[in-house]
Amino acid sequence: MPKREKKTPKAPRAKGYIAGAGEIVEQDVGETLRKNFMPYAMSVILSRAIPEIDGFKPSHRKILYTMYKMGLLGPGRKKSATIVGEVMKLNPHGDTAIYDTMVRLSRGYEALLHPFVDSKGNFGKFYSRDMAWAAPRYTEAKLDDLCRELFRDIDRDTVDFVDNYDNTMQEPVLLPVGFPTVLVNANTGIAVGMASNICPFNLSEVCKTTIALMRDPQADLFQTLLAPDFPGGGQLIFDRAQMEKVYQTGRGSFKVRGRYAYDKSQNCIDVTQIPPTTTIEVIVEKVIDLVKQNKLKEIADIRDESDLEGLKITIDLKRGTDPDKLMQKLFKLTTLEDSFACNFNVLIAGAPRVLGVRELLEEWCAFRIECVRRRTHFDLQKKKEKLHLLTGLQAILLDIDKAIRIVRETEEEVEVVPNLMIGFGIDQVQAEYVAEIRLRHLNREYILKRTEEIGQLQKDIAGLEAILASKSKVTSLIIAELTDIAQKYGKPRRTMLLYADEVEEADLAEEVPDYPVHLFFTQEGYFKKITPQSLRMSGEQKLKEGDAIAQQAEAVNSTELLFFTDRCQVYKLRASDFDDTKASVLGDFIPAKAQMDEGERALSMVPTKDYAGFMLFVFENGKAAKVDLSAYRTKQNRRKLVSAYSDKSPLVRALFLPEDGEVLLTASSGRMLLFHTGLIASKATKNTQGVQAMSLKQGQRVMACAVYADGDLQNPARYRKKLPALGALPAGEDAAEQLSI
């Protein structure tokens, strides 16, 4: 028999041994993310960052509902610390986060058009970064009167309730809001992979728009909903096309600028309203920085004078400063004018959706219709139950003595209800109700008073059933409620509309000293700016070995310079960007100064003040393109323009011509062509291929191009031809005069 192998005894396991600890196990990254990250992402999206159709995130809803259950919808306030402690029964995220959220809902913080929390004490300010709110033990709060429209129907089965995190109490899934709070108050949230940023609108305008849509789904929104309305006021620069995009898609942006007043007696500007996306401190710090950079020379001092009366930034001006022109510069250079980016991302039936204003109001209407139907059904059931009880009581009216006798003669208590059911032909619920009537109420007067309600109840029930059977009646109820809310809580617009075509933009061109200069550009790409006085006192121009002056021009210091390169690009600089120099220095290397692409060369310099004249591009294939210099003017002062000329054939030369004149082309065959540039039509497209100027045979190309001057040729008529043309071979007297490249 084969011998058995001896098993090696296993080493004893150490105390606290964990199976698999320390082992490296390969896992699929995708699967790990799905298991660990996706639940977190879904939790942030669905339970934290994105508002729902009632306009609230879960944290907002928990705070408001807790305050409602605490009885804070009345006149009395409670310490914020007490409120925060109660909210923690629904929200386990910690007292600091709860209090911060409550502050943002408060009247004192001024972040909402219609605050939900009526605060007392220091709750900070939305427009200030450094003005912190007091600790919760020092402040008090209650619900604002507007919250009556949030909780009016909450106890009438209008919304669903769920258990809280430890199953000790219940909270509403949504609030049965009586108006579209989702559009009335601003809401911002950042989730995982998505965000939400809803701008506020005026309450009256939102209610009127909702009513208009319920009556006509195709109603023009701009008839009733003018534009967003911010709690801090300001001026909204209204562009109809931009606003239509926001209304239709829920995405887009618009500009909001602050409002100011000029105090002539103090020679200062008082800024009293700023955009919602900035703070006092950011504006003041930016202005101070611009003054230090010498970009704002008109300002003597700036300070924050905000107090209990509200926001105020005071800017002291230097003598002779135009306040309106200064404010135009501040709008351009600081966040006193800023963009508000909209992203109407809302949870609809548990899924995030980006909706336009019309779609959002349609979803709210559907939600509110369901709330009203549930409320009506709840009231109907209550009235039917009451009618049922009173019908049983009415049966007792026929013979009160009989009822008393049945109760008195019944030996056991449990038999009282069955005996009443048998004696009067009523059901158990009615009999229980009759049996619970006090002895003092067993008289005809009491019973008659109670049974008089039967007729009214029957009418009410018929009315409620009619509402449930008619969608138009439900709609009419909602319209009546919206009209009442708009009248009761509506306020005038705070944000003023400023139409885009009326806005003046400041010209921020720096004032540079203007004086005569001489400009020099070399074949290797070096540039010099020399004053006339320095040039007179200078000797020879210093150049790199093998380099030569390619262009020189008389100009002024504010002249703009266009440098055309070998990669079909043009770079724009100013003469003032260069220091005054002397002939004895090499000058600035343009590819480095203009930050050109690696290996890119500057071919031609064009100085201009008014972009008059045109460029003539001559290519090796014999084509010539004429482009107005104004095509290179840009409103945004871009430093680099691509596709400056055609890349279909190598460039021979880029000529700047102030006006039409004659140009001489020389081909590799030796032929020369003299033509007038007026024969070529000017093009608006910069990279046009142009027209055929010089006809070439196979293997030939244009070698040189130059502006023709009288006397350059002995017999110029010989070379003047109709375009396109081969040109003519030079005669003996012109053979030695051929122009070089």
Q: What is the pLDDT of residues 520-564, one digit of tens each?
A: 999 999 999 999 888 888 878 889 888 999 999 999 988 999 999
Residue 528 DSSP label: E
pLDDT digits (tens, 9 = 90+) for 168-220: 999 999 999 999 999 999 999 999 889 999 999 999 999 999 999 999 999 99
> What is the average pLDDT score of the chain?
89
3-state secondary structure string, 412-461? CHHHHHHHHHHHHCCCHHHHHHHHCCCHHHCCHHHHHHHHCHHHHHHHHH
541, amino acid identity: Q
Contact present, 252 and 242 (Cβ < 8 Å): yes
Whole-angstrom distance, CA of residue 45 vs CA of residue 56: 13
Helix (H, G, I), strand (E, B) or coil at 179: coil
Residue 48 DSSP label: I
| Every domain of the chain and the residues it spans | 46-177, 259-335, 362-489
Residues 17, 40, 65, 138: which is the catalytic one? 138
pTM of the predicted model as reported, rounded to 2 decimal places: 0.71
Contact present, 268 and 314 (Cβ < 8 Å): yes
The answer to whether residue 138 is catalytic is yes
CATH of domain 259-335: 3.30.1360.40
**Domain 362-489 has what CATH class?**
mainly alpha
Mean pLDDT of 388-417: 85
Contact present, 423 and 402 (Cβ < 8 Å): yes
Q: Which band of pLDDT confidence, cut at 50, 70 and 90, is reported for residue 90?
A: very high
pLDDT digits (tens, 9 = 90+) for 13-62: 656 666 666 778 788 888 888 888 888 888 888 888 999 999 999 999 99
Q: Is residue 275's pLDDT more than 90?
A: yes
* Per-residue pLDDT at 508: 56
Helix (H, G, I), strand (E, B) or coil at 558: coil
Q: Which band of pLDDT confidence, cut at 50, 70 and 90, is reported for residue 433?
A: confident
Whole-angstrom distance, CA of residue 572 vs CA of residue 261: 39
As given in the structure block, the two tokens for residue 51 are 């508002």
Q: Name the strand (E) or helix (H) holding 517.
A: strand 516-522
CATH of domain 46-177: 3.90.199.10
Whole-angstrom distance, CA of residue 493 vs CA of residue 226: 10
pLDDT digits (tens, 9 = 90+) for 590-647: 999 999 999 999 999 999 988 999 999 999 999 999 999 999 988 777 788 999 999 9
Mean pLDDT of 344-351: 94
As given in the structure block, the two tokens for residue 483 are 């009209």
Mean pLDDT of 256-276: 94
Region of 193 (left: φ > 0; alpha: ψ -120 to 50; beta: rest) is left
Contact present, 77 and 141 (Cβ < 8 Å): yes
* Per-residue pLDDT at 246: 95
pLDDT digits (tens, 9 = 90+) for 326-339: 999 999 999 999 99
482 contact partners, CB below 8 Å, separation of at least 6 = 178, 179, 207, 210, 211
Mean pLDDT of 90-98: 89
Residue count of the chain, please give it: 741
pLDDT digits (tens, 9 = 90+) for 438-454: 877 777 787 778 778 88
Whole-angstrom distance, CA of residue 214 vs CA of residue 366: 10
* Per-residue pLDDT at 741: 36
* Per-residue pLDDT at 1: 47
* Number of helices followed by number of strands (H, E) in the chain: 20, 32
- Minimum mean pLDDT range among 250-264, 299-313, 391-405: 391-405
Report CA dihedral (65, 66, 72, 73) to the nearest 10 degrees: 10
* Per-residue pLDDT at 739: 44
CB atoms within 10 A of CB 212: 18
Q: Which band of pLDDT confidence, cut at 50, 70 and 90, is reported for residue 733?
A: low
* Per-residue pLDDT at 740: 40
* Per-residue pLDDT at 4: 54
Contact present, 406 and 415 (Cβ < 8 Å): no
